[in-house]
Structures are given as C-alpha cells and as structure tokens.
Amino acid sequence: MHELSIAMSIIDMAVDEAERRRVTIDAVHLELGPLSGVVAEALRFSYEIACKGTSLEGSRLVIREVQIEVYCPTCNAQKTLRSMQWFCCPDCGAPTSDIIHGRELVISALEVGDERRTAPVGST
C-alpha cells in the first residue's frame, strides 16, 4: 500500500501549481493506468486523508482510468488489451509486450475555482 505516499506527491505538486498560478483548486484530475501499480480506490481514500490541513482540503480527486493500449506488430496497429492477464492482440492473437498506454500516473488537469488576480500572474 503505497497510495498514501502517492497521494501526498499529488497534493504537493498541485499545491505548488496552485501557488505558482495563484489559483485555488477544486479538483485534481488524474489519469491512471492499470500498469502504474496504483489502485484507484486506495488512492481516493488516501487523497482525502492526505488533503487534511493543506490548501487542497475539501478538493476532489477525479480519476480517469486509462486502458492498456499495445502495438500489435502483426496488424501494425494500436489495440486495446482485453485483459491484463493476456498480453495478446485482441483481434489476431499475436503476443505483444509493446505497451503504448497503461502505465500512466499523471496529473492531467486542475479544476480551479476563483482566480486571485490581485497580483500579477507569473509567466509559465
């Protein structure tokens, strides 16, 4: 169970981003692949706890679970894996380890509420 430390990293990064952009955060959007080794449910639970006492307290974690996409050399195309227990092309059955998506553990976006425009926003 390393989701608590992952949640803390997410919050640290989001707090930094919020301070840099001078905004408040209502929600953090996360892309999560099944091969990231992180369990969505445990992460949601950890996020709530880890947010307490930070400027993100009360914010939501919106997780978009990404599917595993592989490259099939036989079909010469990108395919969506049907099962993590079977790394084969769903159409032709050719085995493949060429993973294109599925390892994501990425903050994709921040949902911001009020923007504090009292001070100039630093260039990004």
Partner 1 sequence: MSAEPRLLEVRKNVLKQNDVVARALRERFRSQGTFVVSLVSSPGAGKTAFLEKTLTLMRQNYRVAALVGDLATENDAIRLARSQAPVKQITTGTLCHLEAVMIDRALDGWDIGQLDFLFIENVGNLVCPSSYDLGENLRLVLLSVTEGEDKPLKYPTIFNSADIAVITKMDLAEAVEFDEESVKANIQAVRPGMRHFAVSAKTGGGIQEYMQFLTDRLAEHAPKHTAARA
Write out the residues near partner 1 by the rule CB under 8 A: 1-2, 5-6, 9-10, 13, 17, 21, 23, 26, 29-30, 34-38, 84-88, 95-97, 99, 105-117
Nearest-approach distance from CB 61 to partner 1, in angstroms: 12
Residue 80 CB, nearest approach to partner 1 (Å): 16
Q: Least distance to partner 1 from the beta carbon of 91, Å?
A: 16
Is residue 6 within 8 A of residue 38, CB to CB? The reply is yes
Distance CA 43, CA 5 (A): 9
**Residue 110 contacts residue 30 (beta carbons within 8 Å):** no
Which residue, 2 or 52, is less far from partner 1 as judged by CB?
Answer: 2
Is residue 63 within 8 Å of residue 89, measured between CB atoms? no
105: enclosing H helix or E strand: strand 105-115
Q: Are strands 69-72 and 60-65 parallel, antiparallel or unpaired?
A: unpaired
Q: Between 40 and 107, whose beta carbon lies closer to partner 1? A: 107
Q: How far is the CB of 10 from partner 1 (least distance, A)?
A: 6
